[in-house]
Chain A
Amino acid sequence: MGTVPPLSPEQFAEAFADIHPAFEPQAATVEATRCLFCFDAPCTVACPTHIDVPRFIKKISTRNLRGSAMTILESNILGLSCSRVCPVDVLCEGACVMHGYNKQPIEIGRLQRYAMDYFYSHSPSLPVAKTQALEKIACIGAGPASLACAAELRHRGFAVTIIDKNPLAGGLNTYGIAEYKFRPSDSKKEVDLVRSMGAEFRLGVEADIESLEHEFNAIFLGVGLGSTLRLNVPGETLPDVVDALKFIAAYKTSSLRVGRRVIIIGAGNTAIDAATAAHRLGAEEVHIIYRRGQDEMPAFDYEYELALLDNVEFHWHTQPVRIHGAKSVESIECVRVDKNLAPIPNSNFQIPCEMIIPSIGQTRLVDFLSRCKGVELKNGCVMVNPETGATANPKYFAGGDCVNGGREVVDAVAAGKRAAAGIAKSLEAHHG
């Protein structure tokens, strides 16, 4: 009654079709040849993992596709997911010098995907060190930061074990990205690549800090963030109030019935992912409620545009006050707020709905992190030396969302890789 029937596999595939189709070979070559091949290129500097963009693009233009992919992977082991999910407008493509004389920036993201698709369709493998170091490192969390850290450590010959409480590795790359950008099957390719380099995985298990400290010489914390923050309004324990990340994970990895009318609370990139997913899953109405104005919305412009294309209705300067419903959600009551977020008297209104998806940021994993003795936190985030990922406890290193409070995949990869170098340096120092 209040929900729409689940989509058939065919309907699902159509609703979540790739928003940026792959390049055809000739189009890729033409686009690649448009690249000026800048020296000390701004796109490379802008990329947190410093992929040598002109070099990999030049290789596409000479049709050295394996070389192109290796250039990408040399800097960024998650070159495939980054090619699909990076906010390129504010990173490499945003830095492209083409903007400087009114030309379209090079489609770096799509070219990167072109090279990575070639790599993954031609028996993907990467070299690892021939010698095996004695030290063992545990990476807690199997998301982008840990995968990057593990790959770099394997490349240097260290034994690595990745531990995650979820049954599938990949972290948010597997569970948390809009399906029209990246699928769990794509994420698995990257996980399998790291596995093929010799990294071991312990999945579906909680990390027991004490025993891990005994077993491993160093521990990398790539645990990310916790569940979505609570709204703190009456009615939020009703069954159809679903945490945005759980909602996204559920529709991507199992079937899910979406409400006929869906309210999203918050206007970050995850909120947009939830809103567009709800629309594509068949919701008739999708509303986004945000307590600030459009200019302060954390979502990237192109994400906002995606939501508009999916007929998502935005309610600015609006805050939820109560969720109505006896056994299930019936409506949400909101209030208008001013610039200082103070409620405007007598501005309450209700929107009838069957599902509410809070997406107002994630909690910090303070409980878990505080079990790692000596690791210092600030506002729930792990304090590290940004160049080495080292924490206050010399045994622990950290990177990714649990350090930066929630940024992009590419930031996690860069941090994981830097931490791997930091770990290697610290362990090698012990050898004297």
Chain B
Amino acid sequence: MADLTTLFAGKIRCPNPFWLASGPPANCGDQVMRAFDAGWGGAVWKTLGEPIVNVSSRYSSVDWNGQRMMGLNNIELITDRPLNVNLREISEVKKRYPHHAVIASLMVDSKREAWHLIVRQAEEAGADGLELNFGCPHGMSERGMGSAVGQVPEYCKMITEWVKEVAKTPVLVKLTPNVTDLRHVARAAKQGGADGLSAINTINSITGIDLDTFVPRPEVDGKSAHGGYCGPAVKPIALHMVQQVAADPEVALPVSGIGGISGWRDAAEFFLMGCQSVQLCTAPMHYGFRIVEDMIDGLSNWMDEKGFAKIDDFRGRSLPNVTEWKHLNLNYKIIARIHPDKCIGCDLCYIACWDGAHQCIHIEGFKNPEDLVAASRKRITVTDVEKHSGNGTHATPPIRIPKVDEHECVGCNLCWLVCPVENCITMERVDKGVAAQSWEQRTGASKC
């Protein structure tokens, strides 16, 4: 079994890199302790701050093809429990679970004294680290907090400096994705003395509108407000943003990855992008704390298979594989190959190539998709009463197996992406017999 123990920013120790993100699953001590019992390595406590009042309802989601909660949106604010209760419970948790990480998420008015006070209180309670919530995009931002801070690099730097004036534990700045380039804020956090980053917070969103009442969701008495979007739908956005800060030499801070992680495979990707820990919220909200079991088991099995003893053995391994478009090899050529023995004849690749790509997949005997359909509709079919049901063979008729025009195929991947059968379409390299050349090299050469 691989060693998953984690040391974040050189100071925060925990049995594994899987943390509950600051949110409803880490709302109270009882939840956090149950999560630790289930196997979670750490928890970022639901944001502490001045008392607030929440609305009802608070969440809305995007379902996709019968699957629930592909994306989740919330308009919930920071903790609505008294500060002293939260602090008491943090102490209690740390006493009972000294080897797990408890990080206090913090958000108060942009006043130096207010930040000094909350930092001292959280650390006295026993928090192993602090996460500055500069990311929450709804509600609190209207009051000059959350993403209102995270969107202005100067504010971010200033408050981080205030916190660092008194903080004894590592300080993580949680970044909002609701900016044009979050590297500016990440650099400001670094300049302010931050010890690490958490990325990303939720994305501004309106998930949908009720087509009977015309009120967007979630509805609060006939009105709605934009919320923060998270869940599996946002993972690609989060992964890109993590890559941006992880690869930026001016940032160079440990990152705790957040955004749509729902299993060990997603987590492994964030580690490959350089993260030292990952945080989850939507997945445990959807399925409960028990999901961490497979995260530990799955990651560990994968690491054993790959020969990685610890996460550091592969952390950041994918960062050098992300480059700028201008450095990509223009002479690299792949084409689609359809394997007839696997083809089920759905012809999705055919119509995708015709309507969505480059018209290089064909059905023999037909000039275009319209001719094919017209011929089918003209066919007179009758029920074969002689044939017994369930004849057992379901070989795809050769006419339904599309053919790729390999000279025309540009290797875009679309057919392979739409094909429902694994390994039915493969993208195969064609040796063009020319040396690699990037756009930069090509245009640079032409200038000479």
Contacts and interface: CB of A to CB of B under 8 A. Distances in A.
A98 B380 CA distance: 24
A328 interface: no
Interface stretch (B24-32, B111-119, B320-328, B347-355): B347-355
Interface in A30-81: 30, 33-34, 36-42, 44-48, 50, 61
A50 B377 contact: yes
Interface stretch (A168-176, A295-303, A352-360, A390-398): A295-303
A395 B389 CA distance: 39
B96 interface: no
A42 B348 CA distance: 12
Contacts of A10: none
Given A61-B65, A298-B385, A40 B369 contact: yes
A226 interface: no
Contacts of B377: 50
Nearest to B386: A298
A157 to B, nearest CB: 23
B381 A100 contact: no
A348 B358 CA distance: 73
B394 A100 contact: yes
B346 A45 contact: no
B351 A39 contact: yes
Interface residues of A, number: 42
Contact of B346 (A39, A50, A91): A39
A107 interface: no
B372 interface: yes
Contacts, number: 95
A240 B57 CA distance: 69
Given A29-B66, A301-B388, A387 B383 contact: no
A61 B377 CA distance: 24
A298 B384 CA distance: 11
Most-contacted residue by chain A among B65, B387, B389, B396 (CB, 10 A)? B389
B53 interface: no
A87 B383 contact: yes
A386 B363 CA distance: 27
Contacts of A50: 376-377, 379, 381
A302 B389 CA distance: 8
B82 interface: no
A407 interface: yes
A411 B383 contact: yes
How would you classify the secondary structure of chain B's contact residues: helix, strand, loop or mixed? loop
Contacts of B351: 39
B348 A39 contact: yes
Contacts of B66: 29-30, 33-34, 61
B448 interface: no
Interface residues of B, number: 33
Contacts of A38: 345-348
B369 A407 contact: no
A410 interface: yes
A99 B376 CA distance: 21
A89 B389 contact: yes
A36 B348 contact: yes
Interface string B363-403: 10000010011001101111111011110001010001000
Contacts of B390: 89, 301
Interface in B246-260: none
A213 interface: no
Contacts of B385: 298, 407-408
A198 interface: no
B382 A404 contact: yes
A48 B385 CA distance: 13
Nearest to B395: A100
Contact of A91 (B369, B379, B383): B383
Contacts of A29: 66
A34 B369 CA distance: 23
Contact of B376 (A44, A48, A87): A44
A90 B387 contact: yes
Contacts of A37: 348
B65 A47 contact: no
B420 interface: yes
B125 to A, nearest CB: 45
B380 A42 contact: no
Nearest to B424: A101
B220 interface: no
